[in-house]
A and B are shown apart, each in its own frame.
Chain A
Amino acid sequence: MNALALKSIALETSRGNALGAYFTETRFELTRMVRNPGVAIPVLAMPIALYALFALVIFGEAIDKDANVGVFMFWAFSLMAVTMPALFATGVTLALERDMGLLRLKRAQPAPPAAWVVAKIVSGLTLAVLAYTPIVIVAFAAGKLSLDAGQVATLSGALLVGTIPFCALGLMIGSLVSGPAASSYALLVYLPGCYLSGMFFPLPRSMDWQASIWPQFHVKEFAMHLAGIAPHREPLLVAIAVMLGCTVMFAGVTIWRLKQKG
């Protein structure tokens, strides 16, 4: 079996094509995550813990009276579950790797430039799925969610797509600040967005104007549109355009910065 395994490894590596590099890079990025779970555990545990606290304990009765409250709770913490790992897993590790000189080495090696970006985004998405799944299970098991399976499936897909701008934001932060500072800066950018976008509690009218500054707001609108959950605050195309624009802008800054500094 060993000989066979070796042979397949030799075959795999001897092909050396671009796709192989993407695949290998992603695979080892995930391996690293599994072997060093310290980074991931907080972002995995927090959303489900908060959801359980708010949806089951604090607002449990309110949800039983008004199903909309349940839906609100569900997507708020789901959004948190998918966006947080996207931001933290990509940004913090990128910043640490820059400090290690690893990015400089990868640029010098013939590593396809986008391979590590893809690897980071895939690991961000994987963490997002891991953080989000328990919320779905708990919500259904506790009967706190009045959406049908189709809506939940669409919502899940939309939320995963919504992680992409956050991956790009994470990469931007990681490319701008040093390793130890990265998580603080990520929090600084992330938390105000959670509150001020109206994600956790309905905003007073006087603050409505600024909700659309935060990417969270547009990902929320995007997901609600696709899952057919009313009411909508902006058209679907606007939400898509903003998400796309944010991704392009953050990725652009990242690429510019890495070109300047490595």
Chain B
Amino acid sequence: MNNTISSENRLHALDAVRGFALLLGVAFHAALSFMPGWPPGIWAMNDNSPSQFLSDAAFVTHIFRMSLFFFVAGYFGRLLYQRLGASAFWANRGKRIAIPLVAGWVVLFPLISLIWTIGITKVFGGTMPPMPEMPKVPGAFPLTHLWFLYQLLLIYVAAIAVRSIIARLDRNERLRGLVDKAVTASLQAPIAVFTLGLPVAAALMSLPFWFYWQGIPTPDQSIIPQIPASVGFGTAFAFGWLVHRSRDALSVIGRRWFVHLVLAMIATGWLLHTMHASPMAQPGVTKTLFAMIFGVAVWGWVLGLTGAALRFLSNYSATRRYIADASYWIYLMHLPVVAAFQVWVGHWPLHWAVKYPFILIASFAILFVSYHYLVRPTFIGQLLNGRKYPRKPLSPGATPAPASPPPEDANNGGPVAQMRGITKKFGAVTALNSIDVEVRRGELLAVLGPNGAGKSTAISLWLGLIEADAGEVTLLGGAPQDIAKRRGLGVMMQDVELPKELKVRELVRLAASYYDDPMSVEETLRRAGIEPLANRAYGKLSGGQKRQAQFAVAICGRPQVLFLDEPTVGLDVQAREALWTSVRRLLADGCSVVLTTHYLEEAEALADRIIVITKGRVIASGSVDDMRALVARRQISCDSQIPLDDVRAWPGVVDAQRTQERLQITATDAEGVVRRLLAADAALGRLEVRQAGLNEAFNELTREAA
């Protein structure tokens, strides 16, 4: 189960990377009307406010964006091939790649031509200059920005062919096993960033005319495969494929993100510096070096950005999912939209720092709205992303329909929260030592233990506030750090003060805004039994009332699991009963509750199960009755001279101590022991019998555990 979660998480991260690479393409093209020194006619518009900064930024993004895309495509390519088999793979790729290529070209080419004609006419002051004809070479064809789909199809064909040859030659998978090891080791070293750049560097060095700025020349003019692009993007695809093959490669990439990004930045800095000195490659050492370092930059960015996504974006996020889904459509359609805005604003007397953001924002607005209404709920969305979403109004920030199931479905029947083999140290102190705990659906688990036992540490782990040194913590079937999972929890902590200026009603409303489907404020206050306090400022409440307000804040989001850390400290009897009643009602509604407490009667009143933690270990766990038996011991004390060893030997005596005159006995059968005491010592005085407190019970349990 753990593997499923982590591999799904990886897919979220890679989806995010692919979406990023595509959206970056929009930003790249939007910058191209601002390039200083470009001759008129090379792009749809030459803006009157050129920008060296945008030129450099565009160069930097262009180093890696397509390689990044092909790398992720390689990873998903193998995943799909493994999952679907050959024929379904080709059917799928036909629908997702070939149809958009053909249909997209038919729709987009006339639009792009139109915008270019208008733009270039404007650039040349109203007269259209004679356009250069398509080069008269075999295979010449204006693929436009859709070339990447064509290239991808070619690479698929090559990849499947190579795969079948290798499968035939390497029947016992020895070769492939070696390759897997080499892939992981080269990432670990990290030398992959250097070796992977070599093929593309060789292809670039061999170019007779190479403008450094263009990086890998875009193969958009011909249907004959171009060598640099095929080598560069083919390597990226192949490595993505191999990373999917190799079990550990992806996690190494996730760990090495920082090193890779640093290498990328250093390499990029050098490239920029060199390019400023001379933009056109001259044969010689500099060209060779430029090509080699260009390769390092490509792979530094590809591996660094992928790693950073794996590290930071691996959880499910509805917004990211939406953007990732939208990115394919947006990239397909963006060129005429972006170019139209570039042409429109090209002669405005404004600085590029105003015009460029305007083009981007306006284009994205149009493209996202078109995606939301024309694509997401229609057959186009079905075609591009394999899924049609129900139509929903586009309200600002509305969370789109999640592609992955909501938490309650993800984890039906299983424990709602779990710890396996958890160890957590703070410096030299071991707060939790290899503990296993689970919270089942609809139960109340009481966690008992003396101060400093590790209860709050356990709760903090489940709340995602700290991370364990070893072991696995899950909340609602996922990592507690995942905010989507935490939307299923409610929490009342110790030692927390809420803002004193706000009224109770406002505190509840604020907390409710964090949840997808909270209760109304009135309902929450009623359930917490504090309607009369609704309009009182938090700072004016008594200690007990503050706890009640915190309880209301904890339950307002209809939690599936509620964490209550010492909730009734400072409450009077009536308020405590009211709180217990609301907790019972939540339990009846199917909510699970984790309660830490010092009061045994609180655990008895509410709990289905109890665990006792001391010194970071679970020393006892069981039903309330089991625990009651454990602590059904009583303390007997009296002034008496009976020898200790005699008393210790009596049935029903767990322990006996003497402090000065006073004899202290812990007994399971207090009545029997008292009878015997009175019979044995006629001079016995100041007899006292009392229930052993939890602390005493814990102390004994701890002694026994040690």
A residues lining the B interface (CB < 8 Å)? 6, 9-10, 12-25, 28, 31-32, 35-36, 97, 100-102, 104-105, 107-113, 237, 262
Contacts and interface: CB of A to CB of B under 8 A. Distances in A.
Given A102-B496, A110-B483, A110-B557, A13 B501 contact: no
B81 interface: no
A94 B355 CA distance: 37
Given A9-B521, A32-B499, A107-B463, 17 more contacts: A10-B521, A16-B512, A18-B399, A35-B537, A101-B495, A101-B497, A102-B496, A102-B499, A104-B465, A104-B496, A105-B498, A107-B464, A108-B486, A109-B486, A110-B486, A110-B515, A262-B465
13 contacts: A14-B520, A15-B395, A16-B514, A17-B397, A28-B510, A32-B501, A35-B537, A105-B496, A107-B464, A109-B491, A110-B515, A110-B557, A262-B465
A31 B509 CA distance: 13
A107 B465 contact: yes
A28 B517 contact: no
A28 B486 contact: no
Contact of A100 (B397, B489, B497, B502): B497
Interface residues of B, number: 40
B472 interface: no
Given A28-B502, A28-B510, A108 B319 contact: no
Nearest to A113: B483
B501 A21 contact: no
A108 B463 CA distance: 5
Interface in B217-261: none
A108 B502 contact: no
A16 B496 contact: no
Nearest to A35: B501
The 7 closest A-B pairs by CB, nearest first: A19-B397, A24-B513, A101-B496, A108-B463, A100-B497, A110-B486, A35-B501
Given A32-B502, A108-B465, A13 B512 contact: yes
A59 to B, nearest CB: 34
A22 B510 CA distance: 10
Contact of B514 (A6, A32, A111): A111
B522 interface: yes
Contacts of A17: 395, 397-399, 516
Nearest to A99: B497
Nearest to A27: B510
Nearest to B556: A13
A18 B464 contact: no
B487 interface: yes
A20 B397 contact: yes
Given A13-B509, A102-B496, A31 B501 contact: yes
B53 interface: yes
B509 A16 contact: no
A110 B493 contact: no
A14, A104, A109 pick with most chain B CB within 10 angstroms = A109
B399 A25 contact: no
A6 B399 CA distance: 23
A18 B516 CA distance: 9
Contacts of B510: 24-25, 28
A107 B520 CA distance: 23
Contacts of A32: 499, 501-502
Contact of A21 (B395, B465, B506, B513): B513
Q: Give the most central of A19, A31, A32, A110: most B CB within 10 Å.
A: A110
Contacts of A9: 509, 520-521
Given A17-B399, A102-B499, A108 B493 contact: yes
Interface string B84-102: 0000000000000000000
Nearest to A29: B499
Interface in B506-552: 506, 509-518, 520-522, 537
Interface in B435-482: 463-465
Nearest to A101: B496
A13 B398 CA distance: 13
A112 B513 CA distance: 10
B354 to A, nearest CB: 11
Nearest to A236: B353
A237 to B, nearest CB: 6
B396 interface: yes
A28 B553 CA distance: 15
A19 B396 contact: yes
Interface string B308-346: 000000000001000000000000000000000000000
Given A101-B495, A110-B557, A36 B520 contact: no
B501 A237 contact: no
B520 A10 contact: yes
Contacts of B319: 18
B522 A6 contact: yes
Contacts of A13: 509, 512-513, 518, 520-521
A97 B491 CA distance: 18
A109 B492 CA distance: 9
Given A10-B520, A110-B514, A237-B53, A105 B493 contact: yes
Contacts of B509: 9, 13, 24
Given A24-B513, A109-B514, A101 B493 contact: yes
Q: Give the most central of A25, A97, A100, A112: most B CB within 10 Å.
A: A100
Nearest to B493: A105
A242 B504 CA distance: 43
A24 B557 CA distance: 15
A31 B505 CA distance: 13
Contacts of B516: 16-17
A11 to B, nearest CB: 10
Contact of A109 (B511, B517, B520, B537): B511
A112 B514 contact: yes
Contacts of A10: 520-521
A6 B519 CA distance: 13
A6 B495 CA distance: 32
A2 to B, nearest CB: 11
A86 B522 CA distance: 36
A18 B397 CA distance: 6
Nearest to A7: B520
Nearest to B491: A108
A230 to B, nearest CB: 17
A48 B8 CA distance: 57
Specify which of B395, B510, B513 lies most central, judged by the most chain A CB atoms within 10 Å of its CB: B513
A25 B597 CA distance: 31
Contacts of B537: 35
Interface string B607-625: 0000000000000000000
Nearest to B459: A108
Contacts of B563: 108
Contact of B497 (A6, A102, A107): A102
Nearest to B480: A108
A32 B520 CA distance: 22
Contacts of A36: 501
Interface string B381-399: 0000000000000011111
Contacts of B465: 104, 107-108, 262
Contacts of B557: 110
Contacts of A262: 465
Nearest to B521: A9
B593 to A, nearest CB: 15
Nearest to A21: B513
A25 to B, nearest CB: 7
A112 B483 contact: yes
Given A17-B398, A35-B501, A107-B464, A25 B496 contact: no
Contacts of B506: 28, 31
A108 B493 CA distance: 9
A239 to B, nearest CB: 12
A110 B501 CA distance: 22
Nearest to A6: B522
Contacts of A24: 509-510, 513
B463 A25 contact: no
Contacts of B498: 100, 102, 105
